[in-house]
């Protein structure tokens, strides 16, 4: 009963879409009903129900990531802030369904015996490693806000009917700082050092607002060791990720493997998209299973992201976030314009500047609207996996106590 109440509370807190809430709610309800029915059934009936639940879980995972994969046909949507928010939404839904399959109405002894006695500790260890990645990625989002401030300086300088030498010099200074931050974000533990000076460019009177925006995240660690590497952390999480074989491939080991895979893939994607400390070799650190039907859309996404990462890794840019890719191109174009500027500028050149400034303004608007909700979702992932780890430890502890012989 306690576990069912816990699942119900999670459903209320989950920042999921309406469709995902419907799918998840029907899934959890179906498991609850079927588990109640199984109490009066034979062991064969229980096994059939368990197989049905795991089949349903696999199908939901495949459907969720297939929908994410369909967005790759829309260049402006793939790896955008909105796409990453949907990715985290799907992860939270998968995580709740996973616990429903493994925990809801189940005897603690079932998840304390082989092979779960080995696989669950590995999952709990990955969760610990994932917390550092959540911290690093959340810290990277703050760095993106600094870049956004630089872009807003460019807008205030160039969004003018008449552009003169003073406006161009101001824009050029901000553009140089912006591109420098993007090109060196993997050095010295992230791009924050490269963008700390940008705060002097910001609008006055925003310090209290900035502190207020950061306040909800104080429970996360904001300092990473200088030798910490996001790429190495992802590699450590994926190094012993092996699919279950034989009889284990149709038992409870399967949902554990699926959840391990989804966890590693989602964090790997966030690290590839957002500024994160030391990401060299990230594209070679994660291999997906290719022969499992539920994993096919995840594999396709992983291959697509890997291809893009290898192209960008050579340049050492800010990552694969769609908004940052566009901003980099616009910033470089505007910097070239500033370098060759002579007053008065030609009318057709001013029209081109106006178009670039409008596109930059649209990017800043998307960042203003999307970065904080994205950071809140990363925070939710952080706390959700912490709760998951605590719940599994509690159940394993229950099993251990029940197994102690009475004197």
pLDDT given for residue 399 in this prediction = 86
Joined together, the tokens standing for residue 95 give 């995580």
Long-range contacts from 261-265, C-beta under 8 angstroms, 24+ separation: 261/288, 261/289, 261/295, 261/298, 262/61, 262/91, 262/94, 262/95, 262/298, 263/91, 263/123, 263/126, 263/127, 263/130, 263/237, 263/385, 264/126, 264/234, 264/237, 264/238, 265/298, 265/301, 265/302
pLDDT by position in tens, the chain (length 407) = 433 344 344 444 444 444 455 545 554 454 444 444 444 443 444 567 778 888 999 999 999 999 999 987 777 789 999 999 999 999 999 999 999 999 987 888 888 888 999 999 999 999 999 999 999 999 999 999 999 999 999 999 999 888 999 999 999 999 999 999 887 654 544 444 433 333 323 333 444 444 433 333 333 444 678 889 999 999 999 988 888 888 777 789 999 999 999 999 999 999 999 998 888 888 776 777 778 889 999 999 999 999 889 887 766 567 899 999 999 999 999 999 999 999 888 999 999 999 999 999 999 999 999 999 999 999 999 999 999 999 999 999 988 887 765 44
Domain map (residue ranges) of the chain? 101-402
Give the Cα separation of 293 and 139 in Å (integer).
Answer: 35
- pLDDT on residue 164: 93
Residue identified by tokens 């459903």 is 11
> DSSP E strands: which ranges in 185-257?
none
Q: In whole angstroms, give the CA distance from residue 302 to residue 264.
A: 11
How many angstroms separate the Cα of 218 from the Cα of each of 7, 100, 373, 389? 26, 31, 16, 21
Please give the angle made by the CA atoms of 177, 371 and 137, to the nearest 5 degrees: 80
Predicted confidence at residue 183, as pLDDT, reads 77
Residue 288's pLDDT is: 76
Q: Residue 205's Cα: distance from chain center in Å?
A: 32
* Confidence at residue 16, expressed as pLDDT on a 0 to 100 scale: 44
Q: What pLDDT does residue 46 have?
A: 58
pLDDT of residue 223: 63
pLDDT for the residue 280? 85
Would you mind telling me the total number of residues written for the chain in this entry?
A: 407
């Amino acid at each position: 009963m306690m576990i069912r109440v816990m699942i119900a509370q999670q459903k209320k807190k989950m920042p999921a879409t309406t469709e995902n809430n419907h799918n998840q709610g029907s899934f959890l309800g179906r498991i609850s009903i079927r588990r109640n029915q199984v109490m009066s059934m034979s062991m064969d009936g229980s096994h059939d129900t368990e197989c049905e639940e795991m089949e349903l879980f696999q199908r939901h995972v495949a459907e969720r990531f297939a929908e994410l994969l369909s967005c790759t046909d829309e260049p402006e949507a793939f790896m955008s802030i909105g796409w990453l928010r949907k990715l985290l939404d799907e992860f939270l839904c998968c995580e709740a369904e996973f616990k429903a399959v493994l925990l809801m109405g189940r005897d603690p002894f079932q998840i304390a015996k082989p092979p779960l006695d080995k696989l669950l500790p590995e999952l709990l260890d990955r969760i610990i490693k994932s917390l550092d990645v959540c911290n690093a990625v959340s810290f990277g989002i703050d760095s993106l806000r600094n870049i956004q401030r630089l872009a807003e300086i460019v807008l205030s300088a160039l969004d003018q009917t008449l552009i003169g030498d003073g406006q161009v010099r101001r824009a050029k200074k901000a553009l140089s700082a912006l591109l420098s931050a993007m090109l060196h974000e993997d050095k010295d533990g992230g791009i924050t050092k490269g963008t700390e000076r940008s705060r002097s460019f910001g609008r006055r009177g925003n310090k209290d607002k900035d502190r207020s925006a950061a306040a909800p995240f104080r429970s996360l660690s904001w300092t990473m060791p200088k030798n910490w590497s996001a790429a190495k952390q992802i590699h450590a999480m994926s190094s012993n990720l092996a699919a279950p074989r034989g009889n284990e491939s149709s038992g409870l080991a399967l949902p554990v493997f699926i959840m391990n895979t989804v966890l590693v893939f989602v964090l790997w994607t966030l690290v590839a998209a957002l500024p994160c400390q030391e990401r060299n070799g990230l594209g070679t650190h994660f291999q997906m299973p290719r022969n499992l039907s539920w994993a096919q859309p995840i594999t396709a996404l992983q291959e697509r992201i890997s291809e893009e990462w290898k192209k960008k890794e050579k340049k050492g840019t800010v990552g694969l976030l769609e908004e940052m890719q566009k901003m980099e191109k616009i910033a470089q174009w505007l910097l070239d314009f500033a370098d060759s500027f002579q007053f008065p500028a030609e009318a057709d050149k001013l029209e081109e500047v106006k178009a670039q400034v409008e596109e930059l303004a649209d990017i800043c608007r998307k960042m203003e609207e999307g970065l904080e909700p994205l950071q809140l979702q990363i925070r939710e992932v952080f706390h959700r996996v912490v709760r998951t780890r605590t719940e599994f430890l509690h159940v394993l502890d229950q099993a251990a106590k029940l197994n102690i012989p009475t004197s």
